[in-house]
């Protein structure tokens, strides 16, 4: 099942370098196979936009991205087929909140696995960064925060709830097609039932950005080797997944997750047979694409 809105305000950090660009493109693209086959190039340009790669770095980064995509194609795509097939079965059956929680935990675990796999590449890039590139990264982070404020913190609570609801509906309509006015009212009610505090999400973004900047500055100033940097990257990745469980705002984050699960469950429960068939068809298209992509790696 689609989970891109599960923690949409808290799950976007630069430490997920080798995942975000790919998943963002795939989720929005009508041709998953085309998007995936161009994902290495798109990811390269995405990275370049954050740190302004030097001519010496460009070739190394491209090579490392190619290696990561090769590993991903050979080892992960068939698992994605299984995830989607499970989603099809759940959609056709009596989906529960426990099912969704298990799906989310599975995807979260796979995301962490991918990032830890990329840790050596991230460490290599970190050791090559110059002070001006770290400044560029800091400016990009600041720009991202400004963008978050403009989009998510505009107006009063009602305005922010409406914006969040519309972002969720974009995802739901991608999978299920159009909803009736009555369905939209039920979805809006479930959406608004989720706790809303964008200041908490903004501060969490700042904290994660500062952790990354602290790491890359430490690497640059102390001239750490790649081998010495890898454990730091691993710790940063693991902390990004465990942070919400250990945060002073743990209750808020847990309520947000459960509210999002309930929102997705509401959509599935009120979906018509035709809307579910629309989702089944989209899932099958992705299954076919993943199978073809995996076969090309043999």
In a domain, 5, yes or no: no
Instruction: Specify the number of domains making up the chain.
Output: 1
Question: What residues make up the domain containing 125?
Answer: 14-296
In a domain, 88, yes or no: yes
In a domain, 3, yes or no: no
Tens-place pLDDT, residues 214-255: 999 999 999 999 999 999 999 999 998 887 778 899 999 999
Tell me the C-alpha distance between 13 and 206, whole Å. Answer: 10
> Is the pLDDT score of 78 beyond 80?
yes
Predicted confidence band of residue 31 (pLDDT cuts 50, 70, 90): low
Q: Higher-confidence residue: 197 or 87? A: 197
In a domain, 243, yes or no: yes
In a domain, 155, yes or no: yes
Q: Which of 77-86, 182-191, 227-236 is predicted with the least confidence, judged by mean pLDDT?
A: 77-86
In a domain, 7, yes or no: no
In a domain, 1, yes or no: no
In a domain, 6, yes or no: no
Q: Residue 124: its pLDDT value, please?
A: 93
């Amino acid at each position: 099942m689609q989970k891109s809105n599960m923690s949409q305000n808290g799950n976007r950090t630069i430490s997920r370098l080798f995942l975000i660009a790919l998943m963002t493109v795939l989720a929005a693209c009508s041709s998953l196979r085309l998007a995936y086959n161009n994902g290495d190039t798109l990811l390269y340009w995405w990275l370049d936009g954050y740190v302004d790669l030097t001519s010496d770095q460009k070739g190394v980064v491209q090579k490392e991205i190619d290696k990561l995509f090769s590993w991903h194609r050979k080892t992960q795509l068939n698992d994605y087929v299984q995830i989607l097939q499970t989603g099809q079965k759940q959609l056709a059956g009596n989906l529960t909140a426990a099912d969704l929680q298990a799906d989310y935990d599975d995807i979260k675990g796979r995301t962490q696995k991918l990032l830890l796999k990329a840790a050596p590449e991230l460490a290599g890039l970190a050791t090559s960064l110059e002070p001006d590139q770290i400044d560029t990264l800091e400016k990009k982070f600041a720009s991202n925060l400004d963008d978050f404020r403009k989009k998510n913190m505009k107006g009063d609570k009602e305005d922010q709830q409406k914006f969040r609801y519309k972002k969720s509906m974009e995802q739901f309509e991608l999978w299920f097609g159009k909803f009736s006015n009555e369905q939209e009212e039920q979805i809006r009610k479930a959406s608004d039932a989720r706790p809303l505090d964008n200041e908490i999400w903004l501060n969490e973004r700042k904290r994660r950005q500062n952790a990354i900047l602290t790491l890359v500055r430490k690497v640059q100033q102390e001239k750490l080797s790649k081998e010495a940097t890898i454990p730091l990257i691993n710790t940063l990745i693991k902390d990004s997944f465990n942070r919400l469980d250990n945060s002073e705002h743990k209750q808020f984050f847990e309520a947000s997750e459960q509210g999002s699960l309930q929102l997705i469950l509401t959509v599935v429960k009120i979906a018509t047979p035709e809307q579910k068939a629309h989702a089944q068809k989209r899932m099958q298209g992705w299954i076919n694409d993943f199978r073809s992509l995996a076969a090309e790696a043999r």
